[in-house]
Amino acid sequence: MHARFAQRRPAACAPEEWRVRCELAAAYRLFAQLGWHELIYNHLTVRVPGTPHFLINPFGLMYREITASRLVKIDLDGNKVEPSPWPVNPAGFVVHAAVHAAREDAHCVMHTHTTAGQVVSCQREGLLPLSFNSMFYAGRVAYHDFEGITLDRDECGRLAEHLGTSNVMILRNHGLLVCGPTIGDAFAEHYMLQRACEVQVAAQSTGAELLRPDPAIADRAGEQYERTARKGDQNTLLWNAMLRWAWSLDEGFAG
Minimum mean pLDDT among 75-79, 134-138, 240-244: which range? Answer: 75-79
DSSP 8-state symbol, 58 = P
pLDDT tops 90 at residue 107: yes
Residue 214's pLDDT is what? 94
Return the beta strands (E) in the chain as ranges: 43-47, 54-56, 72-74, 108-112, 141-144, 168-171, 175-180
What is the number of structural domains in the chain? 1
Instruction: Please report, for the domain that includes residue 84, its CATH number.
Output: 3.40.225.10
CA torsion, points 9, 16, 157, 128, in degrees to nearest 10? 90
Model confidence band, residue 1 (pLDDT cutoffs 50, 70, 90):
low
Q: How far apart are CA 226 and CA 161, in angstroms?
A: 22
Give yes or no for residue 5 having a pLDDT over 80: yes
CA separation for the pair 233, 238 (Å, rounded): 9
The pLDDT assigned to 92 comes to: 73
Does residue 93 carry a pLDDT above 80? no
pLDDT at residue 95 is higher than 90: no
Which domain range does residue 93 map to? 2-254
Report, as an integer, the average pLDDT of 250-254: 96
Residue 153 pLDDT level (bands cut at 50, 70, 90): confident
- Count of other CB atoms within 10 angstroms of residue 235: 23
Rounded Cα distance between 219 and 120, Å, is: 20
Range among 212-216, 226-230, 242-246 with highest mean pLDDT value:
242-246
Q: What is the pTM of this model?
A: 0.95
Average pLDDT, the chain: 94
Average pLDDT estimate for 97-110: 94
